[in-house]
Amino acid sequence: MSFFIKKLGIDLGTANTLVYLPGKGIVLSEPSVVAVSEIDNKILAVGSEAKKMIGRTPESIITYRPMRNGVIADYRVTEAMLRYFINKALGKFNFFKPEVIISVPAGITSTERRAVVEATIKAGAKKAFVVKEPILAAIGAGVAIEEAGGHMIVDIGGGTIDVAVISLGGIVASTSVKCAGDKMNSALIEFVKRKYNLSIGDKTAEDIKIQIGSALPLEEELSMEIRGRDFISGLPRTIEISTNEVSKALSKELREMVRAIKSVFQETPPELSADIVQRGIIMTGGSSQLRNLPELVYRRTGVKACLAKDPFYCVSKGTGVALKHLDVYRRSVISKNY
């Protein structure tokens, strides 16, 4: 009978959701976006299809992200989104409810955690286990979390930066700050509005960050052309923006991220701090891929920081390993299944 028990790992992020299927790897990576028709309250599209609609819909259709800062902001829509992702990952003709491991931010409350579990079960899971993101990120980055030694993981996603020191399979010190990729996008939108009187959307801000963004000013700057709506004339206009403008626009958010890392260091026992200085900080998550971010962390903390291999996929890979060795991680990692 155990042959029929399907297992799934879900990295439920504010910006993207990734699904891991044992034996197949990551089978789905789509934006955590849902399009809803206001007229009949019906869900029209989920994931990539819904993301294409952002900023392009008539008044009767709303596209939004049901996850805010790593936790559920809209329960009904999150449930529908999870159902869509589970069904898509398992295929139409799957008649068995899967056991699901799902990621949550380190600073999640028990109420928020319960909401995630309930939404996952209502979406079609037989059992749902929640695991804190830094633990999964560490497992996915290949860290031996069960050993008696300190590892610092900095997981930066769309909604939160999770910083945690892990030893003996558990979190010793951690913080979860609602400042990550989304806040960076908002800062860029605000900067372009203030400096150039130009209105740009989220997608353009994301493109700027990925293509020319940097945590530190560059000597040889990159630049790109962006289009938006002029605030004064109301007409479309094109401007050129450079890397150093972007790093200036992001400076407040980056300072907040560094502050989160420093605050966890202050709570870390000296023996573990010594381990971290020796091993360095491991950075994971989509937003950790901002140019020169590990270098900025090194300059501000004095501790070497490096990007994990495939940082965007670390949490989802971690769910895969945890599913495979459920008994090993059940005691130390997985929160109670409600």
pLDDT in tens, 117-139: 999 999 999 989 899 999 999 99
Task: Please give the distance of CA 79 from its chain centroid, rounded to a whole number.
Answer: 18
What's residue 2's pLDDT?
A: 45
pLDDT at position 1 over 50: no
What's residue 326's pLDDT?
A: 76
Note the pLDDT tens digit of each residue in 298-322.
999 999 999 999 999 999 999 999 8
Note the pLDDT tens digit of each residue in 241-289.
999 999 999 999 999 999 999 999 999 999 999 999 999 999 999 999 9
Give mean pLDDT, residues 218-227: 95
Q: Which structural domains are found in the chain, ordered by start?
A: 2-135+315-330 (3.30.420.40), 143-179+251-311 (3.30.420.40), 182-249 (3.90.640.10)
- The CA-atom distances, in angstroms, between 15 and each of 32, 48, 180, 199 are 5, 11, 10, 22
What's residue 333's pLDDT?
A: 60
Question: Distance (Å, rounded) from C-alpha 320 to C-alpha 300?
Answer: 34
Q: What is the pTM of this model?
A: 0.91
Beta carbons within 10 angstroms of residue 42's beta carbon: 10
Give mean pLDDT, residues 30-42: 91
pLDDT at position 4 over 60: no
Backbone angles phi, psi at 264, to 5 degrees: -70, -35
pLDDT at position 3 over 50: no
What's residue 221's pLDDT?
A: 92
